[in-house]
């Protein structure tokens, strides 16, 4: 009868550890990513209030034009994509609006996440009233410095979403900059959402490394019958 030596037992044990380590790594499937906070200069007041007055950590600056906001969240990530234009809600509008006439040219917003993520796509909800009230959709949007030009729409005056896909951005934050149309002073953003996956923690990856090392050792060890 053939006997199994110590080497065979080691290989079996290491192989089981390797499979278990692989199973511990989550499958990277794209899903909505939660924003922990975002920072920006607050919006402005025009005909109505386009400041981010629902911001959660504003230190009394939620209703101050161009105030520096950080450490909280508000209108841009509340899950509400306004289906009406900027002038149809009255004073407490869900839109955040920036006015270059009040020193708010091409606003920048930095979004932060809990931990490292891999961002596959970003969707931005904006208004487009074809210049009425000085509002037009952005001329372009940059994502961490990469610019995406938006074709000028001079026909459809309704709010709309722009989605930027296959981004493969890995990090714990991402910065978006919105560029106003030339000669049109207002820009309105209602919602920004992200899809992607969490990046495995180093502790999880180390399990794989240890399993691979052990598996390699077991393969090099001579067997004894």
| Tens digits of pLDDT across the chain (225 residues) | 434 444 443 344 444 444 444 445 555 688 999 999 999 999 999 999 999 999 998 889 999 999 999 999 999 999 999 999 999 999 999 999 999 999 999 999 999 999 999 999 999 999 999 999 999 999 999 999 999 999 999 999 999 999 999 999 999 999 999 999 999 999 999 999 999 999 997 754 444 444 444 445 444 554 444
Closest CA to 132 of 186, 64, 168: 186
Contact partners, residue 175, CB within 8 Å, separation at least 6: 108, 109, 110, 111, 143, 144, 145
DSSP string, 93-107: -S-EEEEGGGT--S-
pTM over 0.85: no
**Cα(223)–Cα(29) distance, integer angstroms:** 42
Residues with Cβ < 8 Å from 209, sequence gap 6 or more? Answer: none
* CATH level 3 topology of 31-198: Jelly Rolls (2.60.120)
| Residues 115 and 35: beta-carbon distance below 8 Å | no
Q: Is 180 helix (H, G, I), strand (E, B) or coil?
A: coil
What one-character DSSP code corresponds to residue 182? T
CA 37, 43, 47, 53 torsion: positive or negative? Answer: positive
User: What is the dihedral angle through the alpha carbons of 145, 69, 193, 140, rounded to the nearest 10 degrees?
Assistant: -40
Phi-psi region of 148 (alpha: psi -120 to 50; beta: other; left: phi over 0): beta
Other C-beta atoms within 10 Å of 85: how many? 19
């Amino acid at each position: 009868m053939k006997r199994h030596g110590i080497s065979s037992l080691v290989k079996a044990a290491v192989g089981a550890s390797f499979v278990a380590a692989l199973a511990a790594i989550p499958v990277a499937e794209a899903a909505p990513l939660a924003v922990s906070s975002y920072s920006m200069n607050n919006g402005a007041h025009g005909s109505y209030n386009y400041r981010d007055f629902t911001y959660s950590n504003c230190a009394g600056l939620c209703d101050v034009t161009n105030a520096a906001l950080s450490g909280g969240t508000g209108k841009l990530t509340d899950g509400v994509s306004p289906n009406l234009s900027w002038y149809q809600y009255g004073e407490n509008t869900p839109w955040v609006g920036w006015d270059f006439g009040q020193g708010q040219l091409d606003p920048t917003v930095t979004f932060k996440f809990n931990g490292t993520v891999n961002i596959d796509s970003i969707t931005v909800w904006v208004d487009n009233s074809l210049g009425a009230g000085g509002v037009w959709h952005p001329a372009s949007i940059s994502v961490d410095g990469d610019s995406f030009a938006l074709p000028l729409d001079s026909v459809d005056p309704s709010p709309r979403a722009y989605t930027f896909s296959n981004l493969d951005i890995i990090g714990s934050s991402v910065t978006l900059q919105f560029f106003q149309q030339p000669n049109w002073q207002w820009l309105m953003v209602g919602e920004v959402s992200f899809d992607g996956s969490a990046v495995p923690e180093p502790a999880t990856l180390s399990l794989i490394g240890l399993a691979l090392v052990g598996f390699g050792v077991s393969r090099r060890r001579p067997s004894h019958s």
